[in-house]
Chains A and B, each alone.
Chain A
Amino acid sequence: MKKILSIAITALICALLLLPVAAMPDWYPEDVYSFEDFYGTDLKQVVDDADIFTDAEEKEFTAAVNSIISKYGYDLVIFTDVSTYGVGEQYYPVDFYRFNGYGKGAQRSGSVFFICMEPGNRYWWSAGTGAAERYYNYENVNALDDRIEPYMRRGEYAEAVRVYLQSIDELYTNGTLVEEVETPAALKYLTIGGISSIVGLITGAIVSGKEKAKMRTVAYATYANDYIVQNSFALRDLREAFLYKNVTRTVISTDSDRGGGGGSSHSSGYHSSGGGGGSFSGGGRHF
């Protein structure tokens, strides 16, 4: 009986040892510091590891992505996953782009659009590198967020990707996603006239007020400074006793829970120290 029990315990320990323990994705290098950049071949432009798209949607997105790649010469990959495996939210999609060998040209120009479906940490992130990095400024990332966020919140991920692809096409074409509102001419002239009038009124009041003040040189004296005996003032024994303190707390205003923000370049330490990779700019939001 004792022998059977010891065999059972040993078997249980062996079984536990064989269980997978949150392994990193296949594409993640074991030693990121010695990773050497390469250009990947036969790369998929839509990698749905979170399995949130149908096959038809994947085909649709692949076609649209390839169209954008051929139109602008920048790489583009749509990537989903169920976790970031402990890698920083901003770095995981960037690492995916780099360690899989995405990017066009010497600068590895291109964009990555990432949706993380990790329970409690759902977010989307988009970043650009190389020649595409300049499009990811603060205004454009905010505009992108305004367009995508409603679909993400409703769980309409496929629609969110469609909007993203339309937006990235618009962004590469126009250089901006910020829509310029044409001010009506009448309103423009009214505004200019109003501001000019206010400045004019202030200037007129200052000049005439200054001249008016010169006309009256009479005023009551409220001090006797002219009559202080020279060097007679003496201050002795200054005492300061602490009474109490008030502490007020104000929330530092943030732009909702919007993460990262456009225009901020970042790269993992191993990116820069390893000599590869490069800087990315991007932004995203939890949903």
Chain B
Amino acid sequence: MADTVFCPVCNAQTSANSKFCEFCGSPMNQGPVNPTAPAGGPKIEEYKCPACGSPLVFSTDSGKLRCGACDNEYEIGTIQQYQENNTGAEFDWGTYSQSLGGTLPEMTVYICKSCGAEIVTDGTTAATHCPYCDNEVVITEKLTGALRPNGIIPFKVDKKGIKEKIKQFCEGKKLLPNNFFTDQMIDEVQGVYVPVWLFDGKLSGTMGFDGTSTSSYTEGSYRYTETRHYLVECDGGMSFSRVPVDGSAKMPDDLMNSIEPYDYSQVVPFDGQYLSGFLADRYDKGPDDSIPTASERMMNSATKAFTSAVMANSQKVSSVTMRNNGLSLIDPSVKYTLLPVYLFNCKYAGQIYRFAMNGQTGKLVGELPIDKGKKRKYFWLPFLIAAAIVFLILFLLMR
């Protein structure tokens, strides 16, 4: 009696060493089974055919899992790997708080009446306009106990050079209104230290892919196209260093993303003296709020790298799509850093256009207004020229 167990599905007696029921083919759990109470036994894994989705049963003839609907047979181990579906794994960044510490010395805080931004400065710098929305700010109180940044990248680009940078930025922008940039607007440029969370970590684990290879051949009056499906798995890993996510809700993420990258080798320990003459935004998005963004960027890059590597090294498949993400995060850490950004807004035709420049590298980004007259011109002129040329060619050919 000790050599037999009861199938938890059909209740039939089957060999204790068998992984699958000898009568109905259902998988037998390897754990202890109570022969008197099979209905309350272990959880049964239901395996489905990757080709058609029908239930698979164990074939005693072949020792494989067989699909009764499409007759495909699969190795048990392969199907068990195939069933694993860990897409969208969430990384555990739980240790980040260990890398943060300390508080800022007493600082002056300005609060924008319009957008609510809290602008921190050293007390010697006067903020008259909000760098984000251009409205007036009011001084409120001295700030104490704010989280002290781990580091700061000081401003490297001089404000005086911005005028030339803007001129270069506008070169070749044929749809720009003629009177857009004025000297007066350039005077409103403000240097702001933007709070940024820098995420470090290594992604390591197993990635699973659905792989296919296609071949075709001709036989008689038919063309046959054969698509072979594979379960592709690989182990691997990669490390990321200082993936930035801005901690300011007021700073548009796309604007901050667009002035990347910064040279983080120039990060220095935070000192309040670096704020002299500049403003600093106080973070209002904590590291917990920034984790999804950092994780998504890292995962996208990892998926791309794994996919490319699999395609380069595979001997069997010609295309792959990810089906199983088993990567986990190792040695995560987060650091709080201030990055230098020049911000300026321009009001044109009743709208505000926001620009940002990397205060370290001088990279300038922003959205420029479009002159509607020029836009029409750059549509209709090529339209007329191309249409006329094609009309002439066709007319001569069809004469």
Render A6-41 as a binary contact track against B, CB cut-off 8 A, 1 for contact: 000000000000000000000000000000000000
Interface size on B, residues (CB 8 A): 90
* Contact call A236/B234, Cβ cutoff below 8 A: yes
Q: Which residues of A contact B176 (CB under 8 A)?
A: 215
Q: Which residues of A contact B375 (CB under 8 A)?
A: 208, 211-212
* Contact call B383/A251, Cβ cutoff below 8 A: no
Among A197, A225, A249, the residue within 8 A (CB) of B301 is A225
* Contact call B383/A228, Cβ cutoff below 8 A: no
Q: How far is the CA of A208 from the CA of B49 in the complex (A)?
A: 51
* Contact call A238/B81, Cβ cutoff below 8 A: no
Q: Which of A74-82, A113-121, A154-162, A240-248 contacts B (4 or more CB under 8 A)?
A: A240-248
B241 interface contact, C-beta 8 A: yes
B390 interface contact, C-beta 8 A: yes
Q: Which of B139-147, B281-289, B391-399 contacts A (4 or more CB under 8 A)?
A: B391-399
A229 interface contact, C-beta 8 A: yes
A178 interface contact, C-beta 8 A: no
Q: How far is the CA of A239 from the CA of B228 in the complex (A)?
A: 15
Q: Using a CB-CB cutoff of 8 Å, which residues 304-319 of chain B contact chain A?
A: 304-306, 309-310, 313-317
Q: How far is the CA of A204 from the CA of B243 in the complex (A)?
A: 40
Q: How far is the CA of A246 from the CA of B229 in the complex (A)?
A: 8
Q: Which residues of B contact A251 (CB under 8 A)?
A: 221-223
Q: How far is the CA of A232 from the CA of B201 in the complex (A)?
A: 11
Q: How far is the CA of A246 from the CA of B176 in the complex (A)?
A: 55
Among A233, A238, A246, A250, the residue within 8 A (CB) of B313 is A238
Q: How many inter-chain residue pairs (CB < 8 Å) link A and B?
A: 227
Among A196, A200, A218, A244, the residue within 8 A (CB) of B229 is A244
Q: How far is the CA of A47 from the CA of B213 in the complex (A)?
A: 59
* Contact call B226/A229, Cβ cutoff below 8 A: no
Q: What's the nearest-Cβ distance from chain B to residue A205, in Å?
A: 7
Q: How far is the CA of A224 from the CA of B294 in the complex (A)?
A: 8
Q: What's the nearest-Cβ distance from chain A to residue B172, in Å?
A: 7
A203 interface contact, C-beta 8 A: yes
A2 interface contact, C-beta 8 A: no
Q: How far is the CA of A238 from the CA of B364 in the complex (A)?
A: 43
* Contact call A250/B306, Cβ cutoff below 8 A: no
A215-B173, A228-B305, A236-B234 are contacts. A200–B253 as well, Cβ < 8 Å? no
* Contact call B387/A218, Cβ cutoff below 8 A: no
A204-B379, A215-B368, A246-B227 are contacts. A241–B238 as well, Cβ < 8 Å? no
Q: What's the nearest-Cβ distance from chain A to residue B53, in Å?
A: 12
* Contact call A239/B234, Cβ cutoff below 8 A: yes
Q: How far is the CA of A64 from the CA of B253 in the complex (A)?
A: 88
* Contact call B367/A215, Cβ cutoff below 8 A: yes
Q: Which residues of A contact B202 (CB under 8 A)?
A: 232
Q: How far is the CA of A204 from the CA of B386 in the complex (A)?
A: 8
B23 interface contact, C-beta 8 A: no
Q: Which of B2-10, B102-110, B186-194, B254-262 contacts A (4 or more CB under 8 A)?
A: B254-262
* Contact call A196/B387, Cβ cutoff below 8 A: yes
Q: Using a CB-CB cutoff of 8 Å, which residues 207-233 of chain A contact chain B?
A: 207-208, 211-212, 214-229, 232-233
B326 interface contact, C-beta 8 A: no
Q: Using a CB-CB cutoff of 8 Å, which residues 244-267 of chain A contact chain B?
A: 244-252, 254
A63 interface contact, C-beta 8 A: no
Q: Which residues of B contact A234 (CB under 8 A)?
A: 236-238
* Contact call B298/A232, Cβ cutoff below 8 A: no
B72 interface contact, C-beta 8 A: yes
* Contact call A242/B388, Cβ cutoff below 8 A: no
Q: How far is the CA of A284 from the CA of B258 in the complex (A)?
A: 69
* Contact call B229/A245, Cβ cutoff below 8 A: yes
Q: Using a CB-CB cutoff of 8 Å, which residues 325-369 of chain B contact chain A?
A: 364-369
Q: Which of A49-57, A130-138, A187-195 contacts B (4 or more CB under 8 A)?
A: A187-195
B382 interface contact, C-beta 8 A: yes
* Contact call A252/B50, Cβ cutoff below 8 A: no
* Contact call A254/B221, Cβ cutoff below 8 A: yes
A201 interface contact, C-beta 8 A: yes
* Contact call A219/B390, Cβ cutoff below 8 A: no
Among B223, B232, B243, the residue within 8 A (CB) of A224 is B243
Q: How far is the CA of A225 from the CA of B239 in the complex (A)?
A: 11
* Contact call B234/A237, Cβ cutoff below 8 A: yes
User: Chain B CB within 10 Å — which of A211, A237, A252 has the most?
Assistant: A211
Among B225, B230, B296, the residue within 8 A (CB) of A243 is B230
Q: Which residues of A contact B255 (CB under 8 A)?
A: 218
* Contact call A242/B228, Cβ cutoff below 8 A: yes
Q: Which residues of B contact A183 (CB under 8 A)?
A: 398
Render A163-198 as a binary contact track against B, CB cut-off 8 A, 1 for contact: 000000000000000000001000010011101110
A199 interface contact, C-beta 8 A: yes
A224-B298, A251-B221, A252-B223 are contacts. A235–B236 as well, Cβ < 8 Å? yes
Interface residues in chain B, defined as those with a beta carbon under 8 Å from any beta carbon in chain A: 49-51, 70, 72, 74-75, 78, 81-82, 172-176, 202, 211, 218, 221-244, 252-255, 257-258, 260-261, 294, 296-298, 300-301, 304-306, 309-310, 313-317, 364-370, 375, 378-388, 390-391, 394-395, 398
Sample 12 A-B pairs with CB under 8 A, ordered by A number: A199-B390, A204-B382, A207-B381, A208-B378, A219-B258, A227-B242, A232-B202, A238-B232, A241-B75, A241-B78, A249-B222, A251-B221
Q: Would you list the 3 A-B pairs with minimal beta carbon distance, nearest first?
A: A200-B387, A204-B383, A203-B386
Interface residues in chain A, defined as those with a beta carbon under 8 Å from any beta carbon in chain B: 183, 188, 191-193, 195-197, 199-208, 211-212, 214-229, 232-252, 254
15 additional A-B pairs beyond A203-B386, A234-B237, beta carbons within 8 Å, are A196-B390, A203-B383, A207-B381, A212-B370, A218-B258, A225-B301, A229-B240, A234-B238, A235-B234, A237-B234, A240-B231, A240-B317, A244-B229, A245-B228, A248-B227
